[in-house]
Amino acid sequence: MKLTHLLERSPLWLQLQAKYELMPEKDRRALHLLTALLLLASVYLFVWEPITEWSEKQQEEFTHQQSIYEWIADNVDQAKQAQRKQRAAGAKKDLSTIVSGSARQSELTLSRVQPDRKGLGVWIEDAAYQKLLAWMVALDTRYEVTIQQIKIDRGKEEGRVKVYMHLAN
């Protein structure tokens, strides 16, 4: 309400209103038509065109993302298979390194490590049972090393064990 009162009192508005009233009817219609055209052009340029451009960009982005999704869906099995092969190849090369490094981290002392065609034989003369158990879980979960055979004998002290394991990937 205040804005209209300010506009009506404005000298510029009063001057424009006086000029408009002095115009012939034909010029007034032309001014109305020109105003309508300017309004339509403004709506087109400042509303319709940006929305259309945004919509087209979003459609292109959607199509691009959809093609990426389809490519991933088509190649997921190959990627998983390649990942398994890579892990197996890397793990077979480094099985003794993995075993000795993880044993050191678990504070276990390996008495003997003997590689063979099927994997790795590991002997531990004296180990805390809880540390051994945690190490075996880490080998299985973190390094994907399979314990193919295990023999655990009671140690001289309570909670201590003597172990032979055959490990493989």
Tens-place pLDDT, residues 127-168: 999 999 999 999 988 888 899 999 999 988 898 999 999 998
Q: Do 132 and 162 belong together in one domain?
A: yes
Q: Do 76 and 135 belong together in one domain?
A: no
Q: Do 23 and 66 belong together in one domain?
A: yes
Mean pLDDT on 43-69:
96
DSSP structure string for the chain: -HHHHHHHH-HHHHHHHHHHHHS-HHHHHHHHHHHHHHHHHHHIIIIIHHHHHHHHHHHHHHHHHHHHHHHHHHHHHHHHHHHHHHHHHHHHHTHHHHHHHHHHHTT---SEEEEETTEEEEEEEEEEHHHHHHHHHHHHHTS--EEEEEEEEE-SSTTEEEEEEEEE-
Tens-place pLDDT, residues 88-114: 665 555 788 889 999 999 999 999 999
Q: Do 101 and 82 belong together in one domain?
A: no
Is residue 105 one of the residues assigned to a domain? yes
Is residue 47 one of the residues assigned to a domain? yes
pLDDT of residue 92: 55
Q: Which domain holds residue 107?
A: 94-168
pLDDT of residue 1: 62
pTM of the model: 0.47
Boundary residue ending a domain (58, 88, 118): 88
Please count the structural domains in the chain.
Answer: 2
Q: Do 53 and 113 belong together in one domain?
A: no
